[in-house]
Structure 1
């Protein structure tokens, strides 16, 4: 037997999808064993019959027209792009399919090969995922409505309190700021929480579908998506908690003699896994490494600025960190070669919830730099931004270092 012919016969008989061959009159010439099992026919029952016997009756008359039109202009193509196609078994039951058509010429005439895939499981998974997403949307809407109602109640209470004597006005202003933060949280929660929560739900469902040992890579991919989404939610909540503490005056500065070089160096190492491809972070320190600062606040500042530099820089770009202690003055610089910040945006950079016009494609709360500025201020420091669009950004922190607590 010719090797090519033998190879074709092996593929035809052992393929894991249905293969059907029909002539120009629409008569079935050949059907492989997989297709026969799909439709419940024997080779004798199907051979010589019209292909319309495999199509639901309500579509059969239209299919005859489409088939004749195809034979007038034959070409290889996937069938039913953007459409729901269904096939009919011998017992009358129907199932969703995807079909690809191929045309070939022989001395005996022109023939059409149809490759038929049963997509019932995929359809079931898609329907289940749509139901999960709809359920999630409903839950988010309900939680948002509940939070909005709570904010409305708080605002009503505030208006009643504002009618009291002037001694309460300072306290009321602080309450108003806090409720503004809560209101913004409601608005942001409905938007920022939706994507990671949808990812967690859909990935959890898909993990349950992968039961075979060889499907471990798919499980690991969805587990990593869940971990990333949970970390994103944790970062968002931590930002809100930090802003809440700042607004309430509950951030306590605990200065201690710390090694600035060690803190910044270890932070750079922690963020190594976040680096994009070929990104490089360099760090240098000059002068006395010890300083009287709050180590937790300093670490948070460096983490935020470096995370932003990584996030807003392209692959292969350099990021530099430098610290310089001279006398009672400590200067820390974090610079990147990223997309930069416009002059207009720099005027609002450290405001709550502010996000630059050129970073709308990257997730964020608009609270990170606000927190950085407040932490810097609490340690008697200043922060300055130097940036130009598409030329990078540099943040300069300056601290006056006391000689004792």
Structure 2
């Protein structure tokens, strides 16, 4: 019987020793004076000490220097009133490895008695990974809040711009109505004006509604992607919102340019530009707008001439960007857009040739009227103001524009600015 009891006791001790040694959390046992008397394998891995190195060392050996003295007080208090408890209670706890590095931990305490002597068991868990994840979650939450705030500010500013431009649109419509009354004696003119008004209202409604619908749908979907593991979906819709806002900005820029032209606020700044400098400016502008090309579209630039020409560089760039944007927009993918620039004895000749949808003879005679959209381009984004603004800019430089176009074959826009070299 004694042999059986002794064997059972030895078996229990081996079982408990295995449980202690191979537990997946650190276990540290101290005596009533706070000296370490046992130290399991997980604790060795967490703290970097071998068991034989740390045995008989005070428990404060495993604590950062800043908390060692305070811990002696806490330890004394626990021994005075021992009971199982979790340490920290909302505070961040840290332990110190053998190499001096500090890491966050969770600690639970328990106690037991042997021969009336109290021993304390500390269960220690390294929570470095959890803390890192918590910090990552906090940063992602802050980033999401920042993006949401920016979108709200963007929407607020956009609403104000839409309100201002809507007022301007009402004023423009009022001006169109007044023109209709003034030309009521000519039935054909009245009919053309009515058609123009209808196209303008449709254009304004479509051009503002499309980006606003994009913003609204993306903002709605953005609210659904609040999960921190969907950054790509949030970025996609934020990009859509930014692109839609940029589209509206371009529309509003056309209206602003028209206002300034009508009020006579745009003045020319003519200067003599050497041919090589002008050709370089044109090539730089082509590089800038190349990013707007459709897949496979290319732009070929040819030039000749060596004389200087007197122009307003800013106005010429705006004219060129407008004509190039139309060529890109109305041409198919994998097509070539040709740009020819010549400076001769009489002035500057700049041509943009595309192989796009072309313009009918019927529409050609109205092409430079404000808000006019060719019938085959009505479903393509645009304000109908670009070519009207181009002609106004050319008038300021005594220039002219000529169009050669056929349906489904392409168009060539050629501008001419006479050479007037100043002394």
Corresponding position of 2:265: 250
User: Could you list the per-position Cα deviations for residues 241-274 of structure 1 after superposition, in whole angstroms to 9, with x for gaps in the alignment?
Assistant: 1111111122101112233212211110001111
Instruction: Decide whether the 8 Å contact of 1:384 with 1:397 is kept in 2.
Output: yes
How far off its partner does 1:208 sit? 2.7
Corresponding position of 1:381: 399
Q: Secondary structure at the match of 1:228?
A: helix
Q: Secondary structure at the match of 2:376?
A: coil
Q: 1:295 to 1:321 in 2, by over 3 A?
A: same
Distance 1:233 1:289 in 2: 40
Q: Secondary structure at the match of 2:230?
A: helix
Corresponding position of 1:240: 255
Instruction: Decide whether the 8 Å contact of 2:359 with 2:405 is kept in 1.
Output: yes
Please point out which of 208, 216, 223 is paired with 1:208: 223
How far off its partner does 1:215 sit? 2.2
Instruction: Decide whether the 8 Å contact of 1:285 with 1:323 is kept in 2.
Output: yes
How far off its partner does 1:219 sit? 1.9
Please point out which of 317, 326, 333 is paired with 1:315: 333
Tell me the TM-score normalized by structure 1: 0.55
Aligned residue pairs, count = 245
- Is 1:218 the counterpart of 2:233? The answer is yes
Q: Which runs of 5+ in 2 are unaligned?
A: 1-158, 183-195
How far off its partner does 1:201 sit? 2.2
Q: After the TM superposition, which of the residue ranges 319-328 and 306-315 deviates more from structure 2?
A: 319-328
Q: After the TM superposition, which of the residue ranges 290-299 and 387-396 deviates more from structure 2?
A: 290-299
Corresponding position of 1:80: none
Corresponding position of 1:37: none
User: Could you list the per-position Cα deviations for residues 114-167 of structure 1 after superposition, in whole angstroms to 9, with x for gaps in the alignment?
Assistant: xxxxxxxxxxxxxxxxxxxxxxxxx99x969x8499759988xx99xx9xxxxx
Q: How does 1:57-76 map to 2 (within 5 A)?
A: none
Please point out which of 386, 390, 395 is paired with 1:372: 390
User: Could you list the per-position Cα deviations for residues 323-363 of structure 1 after superposition, in whole angstroms to 9, with x for gaps in the alignment?
Assistant: 00112311001000001001111111111011000012211
Q: 1:148 to 1:354 in 2, by over 3 A?
A: closer
User: Could you list the per-position Cα deviations for residues 365-384 of structure 1 after superposition, in whole angstroms to 9, with x for gaps in the alignment?
Assistant: 10000011111121111100
Based on CA coordinates, which of the two structures has the bigger radius of gyration? 2
User: Could you list the per-position Cα deviations for residues 17-71 of structure 1 after superposition, in whole angstroms to 9, with x for gaps in the alignment?
Assistant: xxxxxxxxxxxxxxxxxxxxxxxxxxxxxxxxxxxxxxxxxxxxxxxxxxxxxxx
Corresponding position of 1:348: 366
How far off its partner does 1:192 sit? 2.2
Q: Which runs of 4+ in 1 moved over 3 A?
A: 146-155, 181-191
